[in-house]
Amino acid sequence: MSRALALVTSRGGRAASLALLLLVLVSFPGWGGDYWTRILTGVTMWAALALSWNVIGGYGGYISFGHVAFFGIGAYTTALLMKPGTGWNFFATLPVAGIVAAAVAVIVGWPVLKLRGAYFAIATWALAEAVAQIANGVGFTGGSSGMSLPINASTSFFYYAMLVACVLSFGVCYVLLERSRFGYRLKAVRDHEVAAGSFGINTTAVKLQAFALSAVIPGVLGGIFAYWITFINPASVLDGSLTDQMVVMALVGGLGRISGAAVGAAVLYLINQQFLASFGDTTSYIAVVGALVALIVLFRPDGLVSLFARGNQTRLVWQLLGRAIPRARPSAAQRPGKTKEHA
């Protein structure tokens, strides 16, 4: 078991595993069936959404409760550009959706990123509520009645659209956050902003760039999602629970880890769909997620992705045993202190 784990975690093993995973994902619609193809479409979407939140939350250290605003902005941008009066091609709308979401992130982020902690969280929550109220009130979005998009019944079309967007998101974020100076600067700002500034890092620019990057991804995904479900309204693309799911998925998978978003999204989305199929609602799913988050915080604060590091499986077993079995207190003769030689 340990040799197999060492092989998988080595550089060559990771590359081979990634290539095998991509091969399975690309060929999946041909043998997986429509139902599981739709399930995997949801997994890829939520993996990229959790990654987008992880950029500003895990790597940047800013807890955002309004990330759904960018998802909704992307959805409405695609819907408005594809409506009969405009008639844009679907793929042409996606870059525009990402750019609009990033522009809003820069405009809002300029003052908001000067806040920290709960103040920033409240400000981003207010942003999401403001966008939802605007979408509800103005006429060109359809208000609470929503907007309809052209119908495309192809399951594989949206699967590949989500898969490509997800792979590009993970690839770009991996290069920028793990293999570039921008990633090191962002981590430095997260760990100690004043010290980072004293070393010549433009902390404001770094934070704005990270916030814009974290907004582009949900903007594009929101556009794909809008075309996928063919009808959107504020309740479907601007509900605050969407942000909650991004946060929990990133936390369960592992904050500040690229792969953590994928692991957390896969685990929680599959559990959600299983409960939905078995019980018809997701009320019991909330209890399961709460228990899982509690266990992660207690035993795996670095997330589920830390289980794949070498030796962590054995450490987890001993950690669980250590919590379950009380330690024996040393006898008086075993306690450190005076000995006969010092008496």
CATH code assigned at 242: 1.10.3470
- pLDDT given for residue 320 in this prediction: 42
Residue 3: inside a domain: no
Domain that holds residue 47: 32-324
Task: Confirm whether 342 is domain-assigned.
Answer: no
Residue 40 has phi, psi (to 5 degrees) of -70, -30
Q: Residue 133 falls within a domain, yes or no? A: yes
Kindly state whether residue 77 falls inside one of the protein's structural domains.
Answer: yes
111 lies in a domain?
yes
The answer to the question of residue 8 being in a domain is no
Place of tokens 């309740």: 235
List average pLDDT for each run of 10 residues in the chain, which is 343 residues long.
Answer: 50 77 89 92 96 95 94 96 90 97 96 92 95 92 90 93 96 95 94 92 95 97 96 94 93 91 93 81 76 86 79 43 48 50 43
- Whole-number pLDDT of residue 59: 94
Predicted pLDDT at 180: 93
How far apart are alpha carbons 290 and 339 in whole angstroms? 51
Domain count, the chain: 1
Task: Report if residue 256 sits inside a domain.
Answer: yes
Is 188 a domain residue?
yes
- Angle, to 10 degrees, between the axis of helix 155-178 and the axis of helix 203-229? 170
Task: Confirm if 226 and 237 have CB atoms less than 8 A apart.
Answer: yes
